[in-house]
Structure 1
Amino acid sequence: MEITENAALVVVDVQRGFEDETYWGPRNNPEADRKIAELLDAWQTSGRPVVFVRHDSLKPDSPLRVGGAGNAFKEYVEERRGKGTGPELFLTKSVNSAFYGTPDLDAWLRAAGVRQIVVAGIQTNMCAETTARMGGNLGYEVFFALDATHTYDAVGPWGWKLSADELARATAVTLHGGGFAKVVRSEELVAAVR
């Protein structure tokens, strides 16, 4: 795998509010935070751009609501902000895709000549997947670090239930099979930038 010198790591919604298991329910992939931290370290050490995305929920009962303690980045993400040798962007959003945030992610990437993005973060099948899909639609070469994401069990229409692992697999199949992104492991990405 070839990762360009200016490939951007897009870290989606790694916020304290996602630790609230009573709100979200059971999650998968307990190693996700360690994998996200490893990607951040590799990107920052190599001088590549990093985008920190924060979800500012408009729902008053959400653990991610503006003004709530859960809106903040997890500690390991916050302590890495501003520590890299490359460009950095902080953006906020209130919808699923980081491409509909402030400031404009697409404009920032294009101005820097970025054509590759790596997506990691929370939730696998929600904001991370939506950001990857839209990145693919906008013409970026997207790498989706599946093991550097996690999600939660969910209930859909007619009482259908899917576990977090099932949802993560569905995301991987959809992104890969639909041509939106290359689904990869974080260690492959770390090795490629070292």
Structure 2
Amino acid sequence: MTDHASVCVPRIGETAPDFEAETTHGILRLEDFRGSWLVFFSHPADFTPVCASELMAFAGVRATLRDMGCELLGLSVDSIFSHIAWVRSLEEKFGAAIDFPLVADTTGEVARRYGMTMPAESPTEPARVVYVIDDRQCVRAYMAYPMTTGRNVAEIVRLVAALQATDAHGVATPAGWKPGDGVLAPPPRTQAMAQERAKAAGPNCPDWYFCKRELS
């Protein structure tokens, strides 16, 4: 049995590992994205149907993410020539303009650094892994999907919006939250605070630890 214990996955709250790599937009480092949020995602292979559907879906939310101060960066272990040909094909055959960079991680080094490889599924191709990295280059969220299952990019946009709301307002967001919904106030940390919160019981505050409020 192969031992995968040595694979290190950057965890939430940690600094995202820097790298330098060839991309469809030239040589880039993670550091080049400092000051912006970043959705960094891997896909198994160019010229495959699920990956094509995902790349077009990401292209469809590109403008929305940019308005949120968030960039997109894709990765696979295909060559830069394969990436360029695929991007051109997606525009020609599907009318999808892929205007964000794709990393040509031909050695697999960046994928391994980010724990994007799943050797039990494929010894060479990365899985469908997504990292949300904030403007300070801190990992804020990550998720992984198998090769057979395309991602829901609307959920990724929602996740970025929720994290940004948390940072801006010091709140948490409930299940299924989307911009415009109520948010959750931080729970009390002392008995006195809990007692004070209990006095405010009402429709938006059914219990001392659970209170919703609107964002101003």
TM-score, structure 2 length as denominator? 0.33
Structure with the higher helix share, 1 or 2 = 1
Q: State the TM-score, normalized to the length of structure 1.
A: 0.35
Q: Bigger relative contact order, structure 1 or 2, given CA contacts below 8 A and separation 6+?
A: 1
